[in-house]
Chains A and B, each alone.
Chain A
């Protein structure tokens, strides 16, 4: 045989083997590495993610899951790493992102996410996830881009019922009542009326105040341009924030959100506004009983409104192992996965077929929150990326930080108006 024909034969053999390999890879169960990128590194979040990964590895033993979580800064550091990796053309297989503008204004608008409608239809999720939530994670053409894992509520006010009784105050139903009645009464008794933590918890507080004083329609109008940022009503939200600062601990910049919540549990402070991840903190870390050890109400003026945020995962364009990602996402949206993750993390399941009525999984707080989630009006959170782009959020953090030192409500509103012009769509 001539040497060239031997070479040709070899080449054909190699090609044939290669195709066979490809074909079998498509048929067989997904395998290889699956890199999951998130900022869940501590407490219930990390435990929930680990529980998910453990179950997923049982189902797909061939997939090697890499938990690429980046710690710190409520996701700021993780997003910095993620942006760098995406810009460098090295996307992780799947990454955590908040539903809403954080997803839409950047990743979807840049065309870097793949539609997941096939997965939704194959699993029958179109009927299992609430329509309002699906709207937040899809574009105008109806393409759905991510799978939500959980639902959190942002506008919750926490307190200890026995303490309130001892101090002779009731849960305020409006910010006027809080500032004019509740706060002086508590200050006279030498109790901190409300505990506040570092900068982002103050943005979180402002969104509750804005929702409570502006109402749903005007609050939503801030983000679609129908509410004027310099109107007296919006200036008033900053004025109220200033009055609430006057009712708060003066070491707020030294406290994390856990420190601030703990002041309520310790009886040093009466109220705290925080998302419902605080329920997990009260329950697990401080071992308090829901209803007696700690209790909750919608933040003042927001009864009947559910300010939500949601963590989701998607499939970026250019993910190294899309087959494994599809298996992961199909698992993530299932009722089984949501019931594994949410009771540990301390959040509501996004999938409506989850076993929410099971008291072994979801405690009294989540039973009541789920009731609200299905009946209340839904709005999106600013501090957690639902209603505004990252550029707006960053600028707004600076505005709140500046306001905290100069207390100039007019200036804050005017600056926010300029920022909104530059950064909101």
Chain B
């Protein structure tokens, strides 16, 4: 009896937030998904005309339509940017945390200094780094202070691109990447003598190689003309600015994690003859794995949705550092093409989901184990 009443109260307490979430988050996601399958635009809305349902046309246009080069540039940029940005933040954050963990004097002062950039808005960071990176006045002229010639890299307006590939080849490239991953797992399972996963892996490898060599992946992309994409070096400027702002945050997370590793554990390792590096390598870092995962999730969703920093640095239309968020804004409000804008928003949502859903699944699982 008592238990049932408790449960009722609990449900009633949670209900308002569930209703609000259902309407203002999931409801609006549903509306966006619905809009993304129409040709909705300002003209129709203002004249009170219904939008036409066009199925997945917006999505096919985005990935293979000649007018949406900008979207593809943004997607490629986002992938490169996210990968490098997260790596830089993790490595630098970990390094700073380990250095601060050496019981140095004035630790709190350094901690505050490293954390300060996080208090700034991305807009401020963007303006400051845009000035610093101006190729004709900024940090390029730093070497001249000691009599060296100014640096030549053009930062956020650099036109250099490496790792170029043709967008038409993308299905093949992705298939090859998947193939090599599957082959590695198959080998690993075979060595470990787990025969069933190894057989599944072998089947996947065979299917993928068939798709690649039969030319099926080659003809999957409907883009009519070749289109070069790649890693734009201009993104380095954005990575530096964003990393400068966010690596203090990962440092704080790691520092908290390091403090959580008990001194006894370290001592035990030292007694067992581990060097100072070995203590970190075999005892401390493995214990920090959950923190790394949280940091990747938080940094990942920041970088996938990034807008303000690139908008300020690039003025909006600098395609070398373009991101899907900018494209969505311009497509929706400058082109007044709401259907296309909604489709870009849905792609961004899926990208973020790819990062976050495994994390959620993982944490649900460990919670279930604990209870």
Binding site for B on A (CB under 8 A): 73, 76, 79-80, 83, 86-87, 105-107, 109-112, 198-200, 250-254, 256, 390-391, 393-395, 397-398, 401-402, 404-406, 411, 414-415, 418-419, 422
Contact = CB atoms under 8 A, between A and B. Distances in A.
A391 B43 CA distance: 10
Contacts of B43: 105-106, 109-110
B333 A79 contact: yes
Given A198-B318, A405-B159, A415-B67, A254 B46 contact: no
Contact of A404 (B45, B319, B336): B319
B228 interface: yes
Contacts of A87: 42, 45-46
Contact of A401 (B70, B331, B333, B334): B70
Interface residues of B, number: 38
B70 A402 contact: yes
Contact of A398 (B41, B70, B136, B157): B70
B316 A83 contact: no
B334 A393 contact: yes
Contacts of B337: 391, 394
B318 A106 contact: no
A412 to B, nearest CB: 10
Given A415-B66, A418-B66, A418-B67, A83 B318 contact: no
Contact of B46 (A106, A252, A402): A106
B317 A251 contact: no
B315 A199 contact: yes
16 contacts: A76-B316, A76-B334, A83-B333, A87-B46, A110-B47, A199-B315, A251-B135, A251-B136, A390-B42, A390-B334, A390-B336, A391-B337, A394-B334, A395-B67, A404-B319, A418-B66
B65 to A, nearest CB: 9
B80 interface: no
Contacts of B46: 86-87, 106-107, 110, 112
Interface string B45-86: 111000000000000000000110110010000000000000
B69 A398 contact: yes
A394 B156 contact: no
Given A253-B315, A415-B66, A406 B228 contact: yes
Contact of A254 (B157, B316, B335): B157
A79 B334 CA distance: 7
The 8 closest A-B pairs by CB, nearest first: A199-B317, A394-B335, A80-B333, A110-B46, A110-B47, A394-B334, A198-B315, A398-B70
A397 B244 CA distance: 31
A406 B134 CA distance: 23
A38 to B, nearest CB: 17
A111 B47 CA distance: 7
Given A106-B46, A109-B47, A254-B157, A397 B317 contact: yes
B154 interface: yes
Interface string B124-161: 00000010001110000000000000000010110100
Contact of A83 (B67, B317, B336): B336
Contacts of B157: 250-254
Given A110-B43, A253-B156, 12 more contacts: A76-B333, A111-B47, A199-B315, A250-B157, A250-B159, A253-B314, A254-B156, A256-B315, A391-B41, A398-B317, A414-B66, A415-B69
A201 to B, nearest CB: 10
Interface string B263-306: 00000000000000000000000000000000000000000000
B189 interface: no
B219 interface: no
A328 to B, nearest CB: 23
Contacts of A254: 130, 134-135, 156-157, 315
Contacts of B330: 76, 394, 397-398
Contacts of A253: 156-157, 314-315, 317-318, 320
Contacts of B318: 198-199, 253, 401
A198 B317 contact: yes
A383 to B, nearest CB: 12
Interface in B9-60: 41-43, 45-47
A402 B334 contact: no
B67 A390 contact: no
Nearest to A200: B317
A280 B67 CA distance: 37
B68 to A, nearest CB: 8
A422 B43 CA distance: 14
Given A250-B154, A390-B334, A411-B225, A401 B67 contact: no
A73 B311 CA distance: 10
Task: Report which residue of A393, A398, A418, A419 has the largest number of chain B beta carbons within 10 angstroms of its beta carbon.
Answer: A398
Contacts of B320: 253, 405
A80 to B, nearest CB: 4
Nearest to A111: B47
Contacts of A418: 66-67
B228 to A, nearest CB: 7
Nearest to A410: B225
Interface string B148-189: 000000101101000000000000000000000000000000
A411 B335 CA distance: 21
Nearest to B71: A398
Nearest to B321: A253
Interface in B319-371: 319-320, 322, 329-337
A402 B67 contact: no
A348 B136 CA distance: 36
B177 to A, nearest CB: 25
Nearest to B330: A394
A109 B42 CA distance: 11
Nearest to A392: B335
A253 B154 CA distance: 11
Nearest to B228: A406
Interface string B215-226: 000000000010
Nearest to A83: B42
In this complex, which of B154, B228, B318 has the most chain A Cβ atoms within 10 angstroms of its Cβ? Answer: B318
A391 B336 contact: yes
Contacts of B228: 406
